[in-house]
Structure 1
Amino acid sequence: MIITIDGPAGSGKSTTARAVATRLSYVYLDTGAMYRAVALAFVEADADPTADAASRVLDDLRVDVFYTGDTMGVRLNGRDVTDQIRTQAVGTMASQISTLQAVREKMVAEQRRLGTHHVETHGGVVLDGRDTGTVVFPEADVKIFMDADPWERARRRKKEQEAEGRSVSLEAVHKEIVARDAQDRTRDIAPLRKAEDAVVLDTTARTIEEQVDFVVAQVEDARRPDANGT
């Protein structure tokens, strides 16, 4: 079974996707981490987020994922970069290079390969991102689109950044969230949008446990014989 969870930054999709995968004994695939690994390659090469630079950076680039228990890690050309991809500089670059056609084509192909592999070997995969249900796996068995009030998402992101030792104002984080939303929803390639057959989950006032229960309930509905008209 393939489960996709899409949504804007701070909606809670990554935390929920990980927990859903654990609950169902499926594999979690963090597509955002894969884009961040590519972004790290751009940063380390001191390359601009352009199509010309992408042709050079992607030429010898290999992104792999690995698992330690239920935790997914990322390798860039064989090197564990799980921690390095979480910096602010890499995050900023990731949002820029994710709009490049060459980058998206490479990552979508890899995500499809990995997702299909995990379904075959573990029975199911849970992906989260911004286009997993519209582009990567439009045929997914369960599609969730998570969203939340921008101010609530800003509060969550501020808490995460403070836990990392960064001091930021709520207003600054909110401005960043709104700008990222606009960029993701209006980009020409694979914009952030709800798949027509996706179920909306507003997480503004929901706990993580409630979010996980909601998604698992959708999976259980999809598993019922009559869900496919049989």
Structure 2
Amino acid sequence: MASIIITGENKGLGFETARQLVAAGHKVYAGARDAERGRQAADELGANFILLDVTDDASVQAAAKKVEADGGLDVLVNNAGIEPRQDDGGFIPASDVTADLARRVFDTNVFGQIRMLHAFLPLLARSAAPVVVNVGSGASLMRDLNNPDNPAHHYPDITYPASKAAVNMLTVQYAKAYPTVRINAVDPGFTATDLNFHAGHQTVEEGADIIVRMAQIGPDGPTGGFFDARGVIPW
């Protein structure tokens, strides 16, 4: 049984990932910034609720202290993420993208992962089989967004794919810096969640599969890679 913390647990891929890992017999810390919704979701899952806002240093540090006091950590799943949309669900035009908007997206999707890594890597270093799973996106691949023959080419958002491209780089560089920790990024695929107003063609069960699989790799597993349900995605 591994001790696992998941950010953004109260809905979507985070909730389903927690559900599957609890069912597999692991001790799961379900992190959410909304105390009421997070606790309700954790109770439903049979997980351990932990108040956690990845955009707040004090919240992340407090969560790390709690997990340390409870016995430590084996696996970190950096799942929390946001994609900016208009009120009607439409994408924000490039002409309306501001530095403040980009800062808000990066604060969750990129800086949030850095906060979690900074706080929890010292705990992971004490584990016999430490693992980090950074939830990324196929929208991070510039070769696909730049290819008119690829469906991803028509995805118009600015800040979300930029943030997920940064997650790719975090994964590569942290994996080199911490060679004893298995640190990988995953692409869940186009999954129907609140993030995309349920436009995705996959179920959350299908999307969570690669997250759950990579969260359970052993010390001889890969590191510094990018994976989806079909296998390795070339950087």
When normalised by structure 2's length, the TM-score is 0.40
- Which one has the bigger helix percentage? 1
